[in-house]
Structure 1
Amino acid sequence: MSDREYDIVLYGATGFVGALTAQYLATAAGDARIALAGRSTERLLAVRETLPAAAQSWDLITADASEPSSLAAMAASTRVVITTVGPYLRYGLPLVAACAAAGTDYADLTGEPLFVRKAIDLHHKQAVDTGARIVHACGFDSIPSDMTVFALYRQAERDGAGALGDTNYVVRSFAGGMSGGTIASMTELAREAATDPEARRLLNDPYTLSPDRGAEPELGGQSDARWRRGREIAPELDGYWVGAFAMAIPNSRIVRRSNALLDYAYGRRFCYAEQMSLGKSVLAPVAAAMATGGNVAAVELGGRFLNRVPRGALERILPKPGTGPSEQTRENGHYTVETYTTTTTGARYVARMSQKGDPGYKATSVLLGESGLALALDRDALPDLHGVLTPAAAMGDALLARFPAAGVSLDVTKLA
């Protein structure tokens, strides 16, 4: 890797989240060698002109998902490719292929389990052979999920408290919008699930991203469509109601893949679910039930509806990829999540993670930028794992160490 021209190439830099990631790297990357990549040199120039002086010397690379040779040349020039170009199910696999072939590390923002499954099936073995780390889900989906569980595991390990058992992720507060790219990704996912029985089966399997499905335990209580009282998760949530979290399906599959890739370090009886808090009011149980019902309907019925609507008509209505909210809205956003676990010795812990900034935009650009920097600059601190990986399996302790300076708060507390 020492002979590569760049440390990081940011592909999709002209998109909304891509431009935010470029801005973050311009302030956080120090002396890292960075290039911006996309389809239009003119638009790349426009993005670069908005960046601080230190970034004005960054090179510009023209590359297009429809031209594999341009992706191959880009991948061969750098240690790491960061990509914000989605929907990944439609556009992402050629770049994964290029990075796997070149032995180049890769980080993306996907929340699409079917795309990750295809990347595993098509390119995991080659990436292992070439030494590439293909790291999916490096934004709000799914780093808070993946890294809070990893932090719980590390603390329980230090305390000699046993393996993780029943573990629940709860979104406690959230303010922000959903990006056009995320909506496009969810639309593609729903369309495919509606027309392909195998895709539906994969989405319904809690271990769909497992490296060895037959080795996984058959555990109950891992529903992605659950509403219940908070005290069923932890006494600290007494009085609250929780319902299904919209991104539980992709996030939970990433977390379970991390456990398997780490040789079941979390435990063979690790049981995981995700929820969102709907408060304590008299209407909270109704809101929890509606959130859960809406989540089920979106998965089961959304794709059937979408496939009856012409793609062009739908694209005229929905927010477009590359679009996003105002700077004020991005700055006013925030999130806080709590992940509770009970270990095999009966010890209870909670990991709290929070960030300022809209989760899908500003916060995500920080998480993606730090993932790329960890892969490029912290190589001696990374686990000796290669192939199609998750944030926890690929970067683990190195990413945790980067969080404080990036304004990401993640603390683990022993409750009992």
Structure 2
Amino acid sequence: MNGEAGSSATDSTDQVASSADRDTTPDPQPTTRSDAREFDVVVFGVTGFVGELTAKYLAEHAPRGTKVALAGRSETKLAATRKRLPARAHDWPLIVADSSSPASLDAMVARTRVVCTTVGPYLRYGEALVVAAASAGTDYVDLTGEAPFIHFSINKAHETAVATGARIVHACGFDSVPSDLGAYLLWKKISDDDAGELTDTTFVVKSFKGGISGGTIDSMRVIAEESRDAQTRRLLLNPHSLSGAPGNTPRPSISSEPSDMSMISARKVDPSMRGTLAPFFMAASNTRVVRRTDALLDGAYGKDFHYAETMSVGQIPGVTTVVAGAVAVGTGAFLGAMSFGPTRKLLDRVLPKPGEGPSEKTREKGSFVTETYTTTTTGRRYRSQMRMKGDPGYKATAVMLGESALSLALERDRLPNRSGVLTPAYAMGDVLTDRLRAAGATLDAVELT
């Protein structure tokens, strides 16, 4: 770790970034970049729970001939993990690399087209790697739900990545692929139908069967600690904290976008829905990723595009209002408890630890369904949907991360000619959608009547 996590929250201007300030024009890939790398994908952090699941997915589903290596701090632990993987992975090379050793990270990223990292919390362990990947022209994917880390990445790595041709793509798991592709598919469908622009757009978690990973909990611990700093709090409250160019963080009023903790009448989202929608606990990160996609697309979603995230707690009006209120209060109380040392110690005794996770049987029983609704400037109603089998935070996330890595490594001719610190939809939209469909996910967008 290079010790710059605190600086990731520094806002260098109080002005909202204009379209001219944003890096929205695809940059040509430098002719000096070489794709003659030893590996297609290196999975860094493979001895962790989700890292091993991702490696297992690649061993089972990556096309034959895909060159994969496994990386982590301990060669002994790497070898033990490799033995547990399917036979196809048993000859995958091992790379010893440590997030506290920039030289080892430089050596690792120089050998691969894509580095796929599950080593978090990223504010603690991710800064040196993202800079190394950008400097080497190596594409990068991770699972971060830490907006301050993405902000650091924009400020410290975006311009370097543009120069080297690297695609730095954060949030490639349940944080934030369903959110980002949900809005992206709506935009594509509405554009194809010549139906105007998106206006108020709401993501709804219709069903969620699974648990929260120990890594996610650890990231929440770090963000809670960082939030004690006033600059970090301003960053976390800024709905467009990720929408600007390096060194130019937009500073709109908090009220410019829906609150991440608001309860919303389902009928206001779409007339077909009933009851009250509760806040979604991942909204604080996901919403900012979606807004960054729109900013990178130069505001293509629409000048009146506003975005919120919620979750369904049923359809009985009175009951859902009570439950949604309890969710809002409980979420706020949990985040407050995580930021206070004594209560955090109590929670640490019962919450999952990094590297821990549910049994394979439990992971297989998981699933999720998300829907994103909008009304266009022409008054037409649309809905996109994503559904997947498997625990959202574990099995489904391993699929999304694995397919993101394969999209960058193997589908380079189909990808948009873009580089820098990107988002899943902006970097890989159509390609990732196609690959996830082929992997069994349902993704679509339809007009509602």
TM range (shorter): over 0.9
Q: Distance in 2 between matches of 1:408 and 1:318?
A: 29
In the other structure, the counterpart of 2:332 is 296
Q: Distance in 1 between matches of 2:355 and 2:254?
A: 40
1:180 and 2:214 matched? yes
In the other structure, the counterpart of 1:206 is 239
1:133 and 2:167 matched? yes
Q: Residue type of the partner of 2:290?
A: V
In the other structure, the counterpart of 2:9 is none
Gaps of 5+ in 1: none
% identity of equivalent residues? 53
Following superposition of structure 1 onto structure 2, how do residues 296-335 of structure 1 map, counting pairs within 5 Å? 296-299=332-335, 301-306=336-341, 308=342, 318-335=351-368
- SS of the aligned residue for 1:354 comes to strand
Change (3 A) 1:295 1:316: closer
Following superposition of structure 1 onto structure 2, how do residues 59-74 of structure 1 map, counting pairs within 5 Å? 59-74=93-108
Q: Distance in 1 between matches of 2:419 and 2:154?
A: 12
Aligned to 1:256, which of 272, 285, 291? 291
Report Cα offsets for 1:83-134 as digits up to 9, x if no partner: 0000111100010011011010000000000111111111111111111111
- Select the structure that is richer in helix: 1
In the other structure, the counterpart of 1:15 is 48
Q: Residue type of the partner of 1:268?
A: K
1:104 and 2:125 matched? no
In the other structure, the counterpart of 1:58 is 92
Q: Distance in 2 between matches of 1:298 and 1:12?
A: 28
In the other structure, the counterpart of 1:240 is 275
Q: Distance in 1 between matches of 2:42 and 2:206?
A: 35
Following superposition of structure 1 onto structure 2, how do residues 33-44 of structure 1 map, counting pairs within 5 Å? 33-44=67-78
Q: Distance in 2 between matches of 1:10 and 1:99?
A: 13
Report Cα offsets for 1:356-393 as digits up to 9, x if no partner: 00000000000000000001011111112211111011
- SS of the aligned residue for 2:393 comes to helix
1:227 and 2:263 matched? yes
8 A Cα contact 1:190 1:303, kept in partner = yes
User: After the TM superposition, which of the residue ranges 399-408 and 212-221 deviates more from structure 2?
Assistant: 212-221
Q: Residue type of the partner of 1:170?
A: V
In the other structure, the counterpart of 2:154 is 120
Q: Distance in 2 between matches of 1:87 and 1:337?
A: 26
Q: Distance in 2 between matches of 1:217 and 1:191?
A: 24
8 A Cα contact 2:220 2:338, kept in partner = no
Q: Distance in 1 between matches of 2:296 and 2:179?
A: 16
1:197 and 2:230 matched? yes
Change (3 A) 1:226 1:336: same
Q: Residue type of the partner of 2:325?
A: A
Gaps of 5+ in 2: 1-33
Q: Residue type of the partner of 1:259?
A: D
The alignment of Structure 1 onto Structure 2 pairs a total of residues equal to 411
Q: Distance in 1 between matches of 2:309 and 2:149?
A: 21
Aligned to 2:379, which of 343, 346, 352? 346
Q: Distance in 1 between matches of 2:132 and 2:167?
A: 12
Change (3 A) 1:9 1:163: same
In the other structure, the counterpart of 2:24 is none
User: After the TM superposition, which of the residue ranges 208-217 and 130-139 deviates more from structure 2?
Assistant: 208-217
User: After the TM superposition, which of the residue ranges 214-223 and 154-163 deviates more from structure 2?
Assistant: 214-223
- SS of the aligned residue for 1:291 comes to helix
In the other structure, the counterpart of 2:369 is 336
Q: Residue type of the partner of 1:401?
A: D
- TM-score scaled by structure 2? 0.88
8 A Cα contact 1:39 1:62, kept in partner = yes
- SS of the aligned residue for 1:125 comes to helix
In the other structure, the counterpart of 1:400 is 433
1:154 and 2:188 matched? yes
Report Cα offsets for 1:311-339 as digits up to 9, x if no partner: 7x875654221110111110111000000
Q: Residue type of the partner of 1:210?
A: S
Following superposition of structure 1 onto structure 2, how do residues 340-379 of structure 1 map, counting pairs within 5 Å? 340-379=373-412
8 A Cα contact 1:11 1:36, kept in partner = yes
Q: Residue type of the partner of 1:121?
A: N
- SS of the aligned residue for 2:57 comes to helix
Change (3 A) 1:410 1:216: farther
- SS of the aligned residue for 1:82 comes to strand
Q: Residue type of the partner of 2:340?
A: F
1:145 and 2:168 matched? no
Q: Distance in 1 between matches of 2:96 and 2:257?
A: 48
Deviation at 1:44? 1.3
- SS of the aligned residue for 1:338 comes to strand
8 A Cα contact 1:225 1:293, kept in partner = no
Following superposition of structure 1 onto structure 2, how do residues 403-414 of structure 1 map, counting pairs within 5 Å? 403-414=436-447
Q: Residue type of the partner of 1:278?
A: V
Change (3 A) 1:280 1:309: closer
- TM-score scaled by structure 1? 0.95
Deviation at 1:309? 6.3
In the other structure, the counterpart of 1:276 is 311
